[in-house]
């Protein structure tokens, strides 16, 4: 769908990309950790799943999306971008 939309809307100057995220440190992740009964073990499991050894911060994700929406990324379209700390390469 991303690729097809990129092709259809490119002539209008609309860029379409998809971002495949790994785990992001959000309130729901923290809540899930608390609900697990072993918050530190739960968070360690998430960190260990990502080759980079940690999960993303919401700030990192926001900065990446800001970049994609900026004039610095005007040639990006039709891409599936992995922002997952190496998870998919794992």
Q: What is the CATH number of the domain that holds 71?
A: 3.40.50.720
pLDDT at 44: 97
Cβ atoms of residues 13 and 2 within 8 Å: no
Checking if the pLDDT of 90 tops 90, the result is no
Share of the chain above pLDDT 90, in %: 97
Rounded to 10 deg, the angle between the 27-35 and 39-49 helix axes is 120
Note whether residue 88 is domain-resident: no
Domain count within the chain:
1
pTM: 0.83
Rounded to the nearest 5 degrees, what angle is found at the Cα of 51, between the Cα atoms of 87 and 23?
50
Average pLDDT estimate for 12-39: 97
Average pLDDT estimate for 7-15: 97
Average pLDDT estimate for 59-63: 98
Residues spanned by the domain of 46: 2-83
């Amino acid at each position: 769908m991303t690729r097809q939309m990129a092709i259809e809307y490119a002539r209008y100057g609309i860029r379409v990309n998809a971002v495949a995220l790994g785990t992001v440190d959000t309130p729901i992740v923290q809540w899930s950790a608390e609900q697990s009964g072993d918050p530190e073990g739960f968070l360690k499991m998430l960190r260990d799943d990502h080759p980079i050894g940690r999960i993303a911060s919401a700030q990192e994700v926001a900065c990446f999306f800001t970049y994609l929406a900026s004039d610095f990324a005007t040639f990006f379209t039709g891409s599936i971008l992995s922002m997952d700390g190496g998870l998919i390469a794992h």
